[in-house]
Chains A and B, each alone.
Chain A
Amino acid sequence: MSIWSPEYETMPEEQLRELQLKRLRWVAHWVYERLSFYRKKFDEVKLRPEDITSLEDLKNLPFISKDELRKNYPFGMFAVPLDNVVRIHSSSGTTGKPVVVGYTRGDLNTWSEVVARIASAAGVKKGDICQIAFGYGLFTGGFGLHYGLERIGATVIPVSAGQTERQINIMMDFGSTVLVCTPSYALHLAEVAEGMGVKKGDLRLRVGLFGAEPWSENMRREIEERLGIFATDNYGLTEVIGPGIAGECQERNGLHINEDHFLVEVINPDTGEAVEMGESGELVFTSLTREAFPVIRFRTRDLSRLIPGSCPCGRTFVRMERVKGRTDDMIIVRGVNIFPSQVESALLEIEGVEPHFQIVVDKKGHLDELEVRVEVEEAFFPDAMRKLVEFQKKVEDKLMASLGVRTKVTLVEPRTIGRTAGKAKRVIDKRMY
């Protein structure tokens, strides 16, 4: 399978580290001169950008968190004047203000490049017909894949998310060979296609580029079996660039990180210390080439590990394992990030009481189901059934509005939600990854 940019992707390690260092020094100067936020951070540890003489020196700088980025809403972390920003994307803002990221023309070029690489690694080539079923909008998924696939020279169909039957008709009529979406949506598509009487042989799908949510090997096998597709995983984060940070090659033994653009560290989330190579921890990224929205030591809260050793595909970029979980209590339901605190505040707003609740995530068919169990307490136990049903409906509507995901609310008896040390266990995730 062809390597999109062999001069970088197969660069000997020593040379790669030199390039990373050169770029790290560039970005250090870039942010130091342009953003007081970073200048303060550097000054606090008495580090000048020119003092950086090895990649190790990066460890002297503090981490930055999503909260810090959010505090600078909307454009406070842009390192270039808005004039030079040609595109804006944003995180979903589920826990408050979203993180707004900007892209210069150069950044868009980089983004297309890194996505072209991961798509090529997955097996996409010129001549492929790529159906993008990620949402187009502020979410980075749709546009990120779009431009990267165009860069390859593939034919892009920007269907965007939803309208499953239409997706399947297009897939058949246009002869789509590449499918881009979340893995759970791929399974949903398979299910609906089967229901429409579509046979695997009616589809020309070859390669799947799946991401934006955690999934399992079992899910991969099932997607491949039902859609007749080669299913690959890729990884990205809005705060760093969007999709394109890392992706699987044909070996599918880990995701190659585009190390010439993104410097990865894996840390113990409690101590902040680097873990040994190969050990699990939290991923931390430093962007090495971003102009409009550079990040230095950004804590992703995603848990993974780096895979030691070389990959038979020839790429020298280090591989990360697919993300195994989060250091916080965020859950991803149908591609949407959800925090238990959002449910808590929605409940509090409705009745002015703070009932015990529990979030249960499960799969119904292939789609994630979100259930919120609420213990019925006397403070809001009306004897009239109608009022109970109304309460249930009100909670469902409120959650729909604040989470953006349909939720089933179940009223349960007091003390039926398991507690540990007096605190209710907030999330039960029954999905298997």
Chain B
Amino acid sequence: MFVKQVSVFLENKEGRLYEVCHVLGDAGINIRALCIAETADYGVVRMIVSDPEKAISVLRNSGFTVSETDVLAVVVPDKPGGLAQVLRILKDAMINVEYLYCFIEPGTDRAIDIMRVENTEAAINVLKDGNVEILTPAEVYGI
């Protein structure tokens, strides 16, 4: 049920992000979504890819520090207030969002939000109750 996000630890210096993307490209892995959290010295690159297992293994073999995290992929209407509507459900259920990043699915009126929450199971339940569409891993990897 959970979408596997691949996180990579990177030093904040030139060429490192390229190296990650290059390794994945060579392995024929497509990056669906990517975001970076950074400090002055280092950062964490978070990615949704077409094949998380393979991505983790090729990155590890290339010497990167990699981890796998359960995240949610939530469908949000691509219109003003769309995201707020989803977040309200989580707020009311007292579920904290650790981080979130979005991308728009081309040719549709919907956006996909990748969310890391404190309690993933509970979040799924309340979102489902609120009629929010949650994508399956297969749907996400193959978008």
Contact = CB atoms under 8 A, between A and B. Distances in A.
- Whether chains A and B associate is yes
Interface of A: 376-378, 381-386, 388-389, 410-416
A134 B98 CA distance: 49
A407 to B, nearest CB: 14
B47 to A, nearest CB: 11
Interface of B: 5, 7, 9-11, 16, 37, 39, 41-42, 44, 46, 63-67, 69, 98-99, 116
B11 to A, nearest CB: 5
Contacts of A386: 98
B9 A381 contact: yes
A415 B65 CA distance: 10
Given A411-B9, A413-B11, A381 B67 contact: yes
Contact of A411 (B7, B16, B37, B41): B41
Contact of B39 (A381, A384, A389): A389
Given A376-B9, A413-B63, 13 more contacts: A376-B42, A378-B65, A378-B66, A381-B66, A381-B67, A383-B69, A385-B37, A388-B9, A388-B44, A410-B42, A413-B10, A414-B63, A415-B63
Contact of B41 (A381, A383, A410): A410
B11 A383 contact: no
- Residue of B37, B46, B65 with most chain A CB atoms under a 10 A cut-off: B65
A371 to B, nearest CB: 10
Given A381-B9, A383-B5, A384-B98, A413 B65 contact: yes
A385 B11 contact: no
A211 to B, nearest CB: 35
A414 B5 CA distance: 21
Contacts, number: 52
A410 B65 CA distance: 15
A415 B11 CA distance: 12
10 contacts: A378-B65, A378-B66, A382-B67, A384-B116, A389-B39, A410-B41, A411-B41, A413-B9, A413-B64, A416-B11
A414 B64 contact: yes
A382 B64 CA distance: 14
B20 to A, nearest CB: 11
Contacts of A415: 63
A411 B67 CA distance: 16
A84 B98 CA distance: 66
A383 B42 contact: no
A384 B39 CA distance: 12
A328 B65 CA distance: 33
Contacts of A389: 39
Contact of B67 (A378, A385, A414, A416): A378
A359 to B, nearest CB: 16
B73 to A, nearest CB: 16
A383 B67 contact: yes
A388 B11 CA distance: 13
A382 B68 CA distance: 9
A381 B37 contact: no
A430 B64 CA distance: 28
A389 B43 CA distance: 10
Contacts of B42: 376, 388, 410-412
Greatest chain A CB density within 10 A among B41, B69, B116 is at: B41
A298 B78 CA distance: 78
Given A411-B41, A413-B11, A416-B11, A383 B63 contact: no
Contacts of A376: 9, 42, 65
A389 B69 CA distance: 18
Interface centre among B10, B44, B116 (most CB of A within 10 A): B44
A378 B5 CA distance: 15
A386 B10 CA distance: 15
B15 to A, nearest CB: 12
B100 to A, nearest CB: 13
Closest 5 A/B residue pairs (Cβ): A383-B7, A383-B69, A385-B37, A376-B9, A381-B65
B62 to A, nearest CB: 10
A386 B9 CA distance: 13
A214 to B, nearest CB: 29
Nearest to A380: B65
B68 to A, nearest CB: 8
A376 B10 CA distance: 9
Contacts of A385: 37, 39, 44, 99
A389 B39 CA distance: 9
